[in-house]
Chain A
Amino acid sequence: MLTYIIRRVLYSIPVLVATSFLIFTFVSISGDPLGRLRANPNITQQQFHSIEHSKNLDRPIVVRYGYWVKDAVTNQFGTTLFGQRKIWPDLRRVMGHTLQFVLTAIILSVIIGVSIGVYSALRQYSAFDYATTTISFVGFATPVFWLALMLQVVVVNIFLKWHVRVFYTSGLSSPFPGHGIHWFIDRVQHLALPVIALCILGVAGYSRYMRASMLEVLNSDFVRTARAKGLIERRVIMKHAFRNALIPLITLVALDFGAIFAGAIVTETIFTLDGMGFYFINALQASDPYPVMAWLMVVATMVIVFNLIADILYGVFDPRIRYD
């Protein structure tokens, strides 16, 4: 197993290097970080070239990539193009915020999705099964941005009609959220809508997956054997079927976590959450390649790490799988 892990890590390094170069190239050619200067009629050509030169933007992409790598390795991703702000402290801050709401969304999605999936499998073709199947497909089909906007409108309409503030429509917290339990409740009220928006998609997916996995396991030989042995149905379901049906879902959740950690860009933009996605959009709009690159490297690393975790977990939970 250790050999396998080391091998995977070593394979990841050239992948990361190649990814970083490709992304740097595409980001650099897709936008002009000095665009707003070009649009300023008061900036002379001489000033413009001087600024371009001072930020190495007149160098070939390969040279600029080299500067970036040096900064990334020796200076924690360096500083932004304008403002000279250190990138890593900001990235660390937004990662923490995204973790709060993504983790909550995934945990809730898994709990609810698994529950629905298991019950649907046990009551296959029942009214509950049909209802949850329909709702799942609606959940899949609903765009997250639309859902987010509708949630905002619904919450505001509730406030306007009944003057009760249930949840907030944007931001991570109120201007003066207080401390302790007050801070916690305020944070929950702010994160509720983005979590619901992500959950709906997550529950739809996990419930379908769990249902399919559970049905496959329920029809397998070892479950039939367990029943034949005289075990009570609850024990058959929970101890034998459910545990085995959960294995592929664990790996799916691990893979999803890596992807969703990229920050649920749309959700964070609509709810103006100071997270990874919002950070990425701001940096992209400013056409500043350096924070964009830092963001992409963090996300790429997370995806690689969680892919590895998913593979390892699969081997841990399924003794039939061996890595060498």
Chain B
Amino acid sequence: MHRRKLWLLAGVVLAALALAATGSARVNGPASHDSSKAGTLVWGAEQGGGPDWCLNLILDIDCNAFWNVVFQTPVIRGAFLFTPTFKYKPDLISRYVLKRNPQRITYYIRAKAKWSDGVQVTGKDFRFTWATALNPKNKDHIDPLGWEDIRSVSGNGKVVTVTFKKNYAPWKTLFGYVLPQHALQGTDMLTVWNDCICNPKKGNAPIGDGPFLLTKFDRGSGITLEKNTHGWYGKPAKLSSVVFRFITNTNSEIQAIRGGEVDAIYPQPQLALADLKGQAGLRIQTHLGLQEEHIEIQQGAKGNPLAKQTWLRQALITALNRTAAAKALYGTLNSKIGALNSLVRLTNEPGYTPHFKKWNYNVNKVAALMKAHNCTKGSDGIYSCNGTKVSFLFESTVGNKLRELAFTIFQDQAAKAGIQLKNGFVPAGTLFGSHLPEHNFDLAMFTYVLAVDPHYNVSIFSCGSPGNYGEYCNRNVTKLLTQSDQELNDAKRVKLINKADTIMANDVPQIPLFQRATYFVYKSNVKGMVDNASSQGPSWNAEAWSKG
């Protein structure tokens, strides 16, 4: 009798669990889409919601993260938008007029550009944004680069004129995030938008001038955008809401899209993603992104002294088959990937010229260079030049499988050419926290997350610049890049930086490897998705998304 009672109890418990578990099991679709919220698109977001996460993108030192831009592009607009073709497209403005001597830009704000509470977007918002960027209270939280070159912002209506103190070529990067002056004037910018994009003067009601409003930020869980029913200057959004669920583990992201729990993911490229190619009901877009993988060569006192010699750096780049490595690493994800052959432009940017193409893999050329400089091969097959072994400690970030594979490939290639690469992988904190800024490395492989505007080259390659980890110094290159930062004509600007690249293609201060691909996976019933591999991210046209 007692045993029967025990079995009965066990059966009841199991039945209750099964009922609870399957009680709302849906057929043919995830239960994540409440029928009353038809037209909801769910994203798996790889970043977001940690204790430090803040939403206010004007605080670019604290809050600048790729996924923050993705969350907020549909909510807070800027003067320009980066398109998938890596071009600037007027967004909040309908047009602009650029005048020189002094540099003056007149922005014509769209007549229909307005905040969700009905207040028009005007020059006051532009001026407030500029003032916020230069407010001494915010100085440790906002990079003043560019903002401090502005002399004045005038105009309270739909026409606003920005006058510069001196020519500033990357001016289009400014006002990428225009703040609502009427809502935020007088508030503490360091905390007001930590947890919401809202108007603190109206009970923290969501505010925005895009197709969506950020209505909910569940730290640790996700962000919800709902359609801006008050209208904006573009086409009304087709979806009623977009939900970004934080799924920071790539394997979990893959399972979530396979299982239909999310409608789209935009993960960092990994080999495991190749499995999604064969799955029915999914579409994949992949493009070359703004992340440039490269090898930094230390020419200062803390590196291998041989690296100071131009011919040695030329031998090093010739010893590596960059195209084969790119294909081995990313070929299954993106068949178009190949070697990057410029240090100043990416393959899909205007003005890209493959100056480094002359350094194709050629073991014989390496041998010729070594011989010409009295280097001899040892019994281990590695060259020595005047008593110094051609051996480098190769650093990168430990735990990154693709980088470890890349190193293995390069090590093998270099060894065949008589150059030794030793594994010096360290934690990311060590590499970025001390070895790079202290210039304490031989070779370091890492990724630059670049911008569409080529201004970053000045910091990376100019003599003595903080971003110049390899201590490369060529006065002509520095002069050309500095000039490019003041050249307002885009074509002339590109010409200047390409001239610098021609010199660097001979000096080889770094070895450009490849651009990492973006990998955009979404359900086939989702329409309107167009990948944007620039820093704008895939939500650039969120108003056009719909579900079939």
Contact = CB atoms under 8 A, between A and B. Distances in A.
Contacts of A185: 20, 23-24
Interface stretch (B231-239, B240-248, B525-533): B240-248
A299 B21 CA distance: 31
A189 B21 contact: yes
B32 A175 contact: yes
A272 B246 contact: yes
A42 B252 CA distance: 34
A258 B538 CA distance: 43
B13 to A, nearest CB: 8
Contacts of B21: 166-167, 188-189, 192
B357 to A, nearest CB: 25
Contacts of B388: none
B15 interface: no
Contact of A274 (B29, B36, B49, B459): B49
A269 B248 contact: yes
B456 interface: yes
Interface in B19-35: 20-34
Contact of B51 (A165, A174, A291): A291
B63 interface: yes
Nearest to A290: B51
A236 B222 CA distance: 54
Nearest to B244: A175
Contact of A82 (B54, B241, B256): B54
A35 B33 CA distance: 40
A272 B436 CA distance: 32
A123 to B, nearest CB: 12
Contacts of A83: 51-54, 62-63, 194
B54 A170 contact: no
Contacts of B49: 274, 282
B220 A279 contact: yes
Contacts of B222: 171, 175
Interface string B49-70: 1111110000001110000000
B28 to A, nearest CB: 5
Interface stretch (B92-100, B361-369, B427-435, B510-518): B427-435
B221 interface: yes
Interface stretch (B117-125, B258-266, B306-314): B258-266
Interface in B186-200: 190-191, 194-195
Interface of B: 2, 10, 13, 20-34, 36-37, 40, 42, 49-54, 61-63, 139-140, 143, 145, 190-191, 194-195, 218-222, 224, 241, 243, 245-249, 251-252, 255-256, 258-261, 428-429, 432-434, 436-437, 448, 456, 459-460, 465-467
15 contacts: A35-B429, A38-B432, A40-B143, A40-B467, A42-B145, A54-B140, A82-B62, A84-B190, A84-B194, A159-B259, A160-B258, A171-B221, A188-B20, A274-B49, A288-B52
Interface of A: 30-32, 34-45, 47-48, 50-51, 54-55, 80-85, 87, 90, 93-94, 97, 111, 115, 149, 152-153, 155-156, 159-160, 163-178, 182, 184-186, 188-189, 192, 234, 269-272, 274, 278-279, 282-283, 285-288, 291
